[in-house]
A and B are shown apart, each in its own frame.
Chain A
Amino acid sequence: MNRAVLTRSGPLCTIQDLGRTTGRRLGLAPGGAMDRRAYLWANRLLGNRPDAPALEVTLGGAVIRFESATTLAITGADCSAEIDGAVLPNGFTTRVQAGQVLRLGFSRSGMRAYIAFPGGLDAPRAFGSASVVVREGLDGPLGRAMTDGADLRWPDDPPTGRARGVPRTYVSSQSRSLSLPLIPGYEWHQFSSLDRDSFWSNEWTVASASDRVATRLEGPVLRSGPQSLDSTPLVDGTVQVPGNGTPLVFMRDRPTIGGYPKLGTVDPGALDDLAQARPGTRIRFVRADPEEVLNQLRERRAFFRLDA
Chain B
Amino acid sequence: MARVLALEALVNRTLTGVRETIPAFNKLLIEGVPEEWDGPQIEVDLRRLIDACFREPLPKPDVRVLTLPACYDPVLGPDLVELARHAGLTTQQVAQIHSGSTYTVLATGFAPGFAYLGSIDERLAMPRRSDPRPQVQVGTLAIADRRTGVYPSTGPGGWRLIGRVPKALFDDVAQRIARFEPGMQVRFRPISRPDYEREGGL
Contact = CB atoms under 8 A, between A and B. Distances in A.
A298 B34 contact: yes
A25 B25 contact: no
A24 interface: yes
Contacts of B169: none
Nearest to B8: A25
Contacts, number: 88
Interface in B148-189: 153, 173, 177-178, 180-182
B85 interface: no
Contact of B22 (A230, A256, A290): A256
Contact of B39 (A137, A230, A256, A290): A290
Nearest to A137: B153
Contacts of B139: none
Given A232-B25, A256-B108, A25 B182 contact: yes
A290 to B, nearest CB: 6
A136 B111 contact: yes
| Interface of B: prevailing SS | mixed
Interface string A1-12: 000000000000
Interface in A229-258: 229-235, 255-257
A26 interface: yes
| Interface of A: prevailing SS | loop
A138 interface: yes
A239 to B, nearest CB: 16
B19 A21 contact: yes
**Chain A residues touching B, range:** 20 to 34
Contact of A25 (B21, B35, B112): B21
Interface string B30-62: 010111010100000000000000000000000
B111 A27 contact: yes
Contacts of A86: none
B21 A291 contact: no
Given A257-B24, A294-B34, A233 B110 contact: no
Interface string A126-151: 00000000001111100000000000
Interface of B: 19-29, 31, 33-35, 37, 39, 106-116, 145, 153, 173, 177-178, 180-182
Given A22-B20, A24-B31, 20 more contacts: A21-B20, A25-B20, A25-B21, A25-B108, A27-B111, A27-B112, A28-B112, A139-B173, A140-B173, A229-B145, A230-B25, A230-B106, A230-B116, A231-B107, A231-B109, A232-B25, A233-B22, A233-B24, A307-B35, A308-B19
